[in-house]
Amino acid sequence: MKVLAPRRGLSFGEVVARHHARGELVVQPRMGFADPERMGRGLLATRAARAATVGTITIDSYTRVGDHEAAREALAVGADLNGYPLVDHDPATTSALLEAVVSREFPVQIRHGSPDPRRIVRTLLDHGLHATEGGPVSYCLPYSRMPLSAAVDNWRRSCETLAMARGPELEPHLETFGGCMMGQLCPPALLVALSVLEGMFFWRHGVRCLSFSYAQQTHAGQDEEAIAALHALIREYVPHARAHVVIYGYMGVHPRTPGGALALIAESARLAARTGAGRLIVKTTAEAHRVPTVAENVTALEHAAEAAAGVSRIGQLGDTGIHAQAKALVDNVLSLDSDLGRALVTAFARGQLDVPFCLHPDNAGRARGRLDVNGRLEWQRIGAMPLGDLVDLPADRGMTSGELLDALRYVERTFDEKYGMPGIDTVKSLQGSKT
């Protein structure tokens, strides 16, 4: 097997830090195609975009759940997959793909969604890559029925594999997905706490170059406060990590109109720039309809970069208690066990971490979030989480199915109603999105 040797200066974290020092927001697509030629075209187009970019190879769902036989069968018959089957593709093909696109200034991150990433991590390292993402909680509870304890062990082993690969010419990078749990209707304090806890887990198992995620929610001011809290808790709990914050464009129901979608993309980019994030995961105008094309991804990347350019970082923010809530959740987990993996399992078993609307058997399911009249996410119920002295709960603890649907579509409705008529520039940008 011919592998792509790691090269000095190719650290994912270093590339992001270099752009950040120049005042540039790194923008990144969520792109994955089974066909190596199409995947290569997508990466080259990302690299050539008028923006500071890094590359993405998103793994297919068979590989994500460890069904490698199904992935191989799909490849054998030429069936289309919803991502790149890194583990089971011909190694020479993958190596040739990477040789053509990876450069000193353009690293590629492997994105996957697996509660057991051990084979994925070994394979990406075999190919000279060094950056991936996920976490023992965030890639278990939403996406699988695997026991949380098993996912914790799988991720511990994967972190150790990445850590052992460190060398003079290779600095592995791991991004926590904890700040994106369930995509929507999860109050920000829990997202911040989970992002910090997973980052601490990575650090304790040897990974030194990290990024901490936060997903854009429903209220810009609340998001600003949450990201400020995330920065502060990173400095407190993982002070020696080489770290940056990565913002995800809104992950819930997306606007259906091109104008609404472009406005939301721009808002996510301005949020990232205002809050000092190093990187933004960018959605496209196609999210409400289908898998985006390469051209649509590039249009969105360039639109986000343009929106972020020249935006100044915000100063002093108000305090509605997000930092205090997130810190209380983190401190409680740390008090449960000196081993952070065991502490996470215990916290979920006791309902002291509890993700709203998550149906995994290891999640208590007693907590709920809701939108207030101003579009801010607040706690409706906290279950057994240690937040009772920090949260004022509403008298009405219930939610009808209609209210839930309205909340889920709040962002879609807001942006479509305000920006739903595309201007001529929007129409022109979409006319080229055919490939």
Specify the CATH number for the domain of residue 398. 3.20.20.240
pLDDT, tens digit, 9 for 90 and up, residues 283-326: 998 888 888 899 999 999 999 999 999 999 998 788 999 999 99
Condensed to tens digits (0 to 9), the pLDDT of residues 115-146 reads 999 999 999 999 999 999 999 999 999 989 99
What average pLDDT does this structure show over 368-380? 93
Give the pLDDT confidence score for residue 8 in this predicted structure: 42
What is the rounded CA–CA span in Å between residue 262 and residue 271? 14
Chain mean position to CA 339: 25
* Calpha distance 261→265 (Å, rounded): 6
> Any idea which of 52-56, 116-120, 302-306, 394-398 has the lowest mean pLDDT?
394-398
Average pLDDT, the chain: 91
Residues 372, 385, 244, 170: is their CA dihedral positive or negative? negative
Number of domains composing the chain: 1
Nearest CA-CA partner of 223 in 328, 330, 331, 375: 375
Rounded Cα distance between 311 and 19, Å, is 15
Q: Are 32 and 39 in contact (CB under 8 A)?
A: yes
User: What confidence score (pLDDT) does residue 281 get?
Assistant: 97
Domain membership of residue 221 as a residue range: 1-435
Q: What angle do CA 419, 420, 423 make, to 5 degrees?
A: 80
| pTM as predicted | 0.93
